Amino acid sequence: MRPSSSPSEALLRGLSGTPDVDAELDDQHLLQAMLDVEAALARAGADVGLLPGPVADEITRHCRAERYDPAALGAAADAAGNPVVPLVRELTAAVAEPARPWVHHGATSQDVLDSALSLVVTRAAAVLLRQLDAAADTAADLARTHRDTVMVARTLGQQAAPTTFGLKAAGWLLGLVAARSRLVRARETLPAQLGGAVGTLAGYGPDGPAVVRSFAAQLGLAASPLPWHTRRQPILDLAAALGGLVAAAGKIALDVGLLAQTEVGEVTEGGAGRGGSSAMPHKRNPVDSVLVTAAARRAPGLVGTLFAAAGQEHERATGGWHAEWEPLLELVHLAGGATARTARMLADLRVHPQRMRANLDATGGLLLAEAVATRLAPALGRAAAHDLVRRAAARPQFRDALLADPQLRAHLTESDVDAALNPAGWLGCAGQLVDLALDRHREQP
């Protein structure tokens, strides 16, 4: 078994991430991304005639992560403050003598690490987006299946009025759809970084812009019109997209956890063998909801760190850039775990329509007080109708109290009251809204 890279990795880290995404974030993949950048740099130089093609081939041949030791490079990084310096030293020593002057030609350490992180995040985001699509598809299935399943809507923690579970699921769906759109946009515009020591491309002479274009194309990344060494908007856009995704997943998890409470019991997390307690044999805890909620609590701090680090001095930062690396990778890690668990949670979710209806009926029609007041308003005026219904709501047996009020009976029959107290008649445009959400999901690219 491979030793863990940190004491808590095996025991704890798997609870916040997912193997498919985390595999793209490990040291070996980051190292390979750094070497991919060095190889692209050499090939871009050859493309514009700055160095011979065979030299670029020689450098590329040695840009394979298995030839280098990430742990040794990490230890050596302390002397320079980043791992690119020792990597360039080892890569230079590895290539044939004629190629050595051209290793890392015209670049600086930040060019390599920024571009490598763009590569790593882009590759991890491809996996993450597949998981996000699975979560959205399942949310759409729930919205479609339960388009007309009536339940209680809750505001400020209290029962408020009827809604449908389909509309709740449609809200979850659109949160995921919007998060996907932001992440795709941030991923597609995430640029390569190449500017040289102070962002002037001095090492390339007049061929600098052409090298940048070829370099970005070699990596499959966007080409930035100017180096972004201390202009960190691409990182901020990415952080906001990832933070928004975790928040969208966290909203779903929070709702599921509340609906799964024993006293509510409107949904149950599925999954064989999940949710057990070490002390209480009867417990069936909403584990995925809990873990996604935990991720949603952590993500804002990471987003905040990345935004706080964005104010960077002059042409190269003194600490702000360095502060980004780990929070960025941790945010991708959390987003991967939250998305994968949300997909599983929704796929295994058990919905209990009978319990939803029982909870809706538990207050004896009080949830339809707004519907009754709306029927009375044309005759009495909105304020007077509201006050009349509020007085009836304060008495036992809401329906009986309404029918006992002579002012109400002057304008509404018993059949009118019963129609107003029917939850299915006070759902507004819920079904149409579900359909609109499903249309939006189908239309996304």
Beta carbons of 113 and 84 less than 8 angstroms apart: yes
- Topology annotation, domain 15-357: Fumarase C; Chain A, domain 2 (1.20.200)
What confidence tens digit (pLDDT) does each residue in 21-72 have?
999 999 999 999 999 999 999 999 999 999 999 999 999 999 999 999 999 9
pLDDT in tens, 369-408: 999 999 999 999 999 999 999 999 999 899 999 999 999 9
DSSP annotation string for 217-249:
HHHT-BPPSS--SS--HHHHHHHHHHHHHHHHH
Helix (H, G, I), strand (E, B) or coil at 153: strand
| 3-class DSSP assignment, residue 196 | coil
Contacts 24+ apart (CB under 8 A), 317-324: 317/229, 317/230, 320/230, 320/232, 321/110, 321/229, 321/230, 322/81, 322/82, 324/232, 324/235
Domain regions of the chain by residue span: 15-357, 365-443
Three-state secondary-structure class, residue 391: helix
Top-level class of domain 365-443: mainly alpha
pLDDT at 8 over 70: no
Is position 185 annotated as part of the catalytic site? no
Q: Predicted confidence band at 270 (pLDDT cuts at 50, 70, 90)? A: confident
Predicted local confidence at residue 7, as pLDDT:
47
Beta-carbon count within 10 A of 378 CB: 10
Catalytic residue among 43, 123, 187, 316: 316
- Judge whether 278 counts as a catalytic residue: no
Q: 3-class DSSP state for residue 132?
A: helix
Give the pairing type, strands 267-268 and 158-164. unpaired
**Average confidence score pLDDT of the chain:** 94
Rounded to two decimals, what is the model's pTM? 0.92
Query: Considering 277, 390, 391, 395, which one is annotated as catalytic?
Result: 277
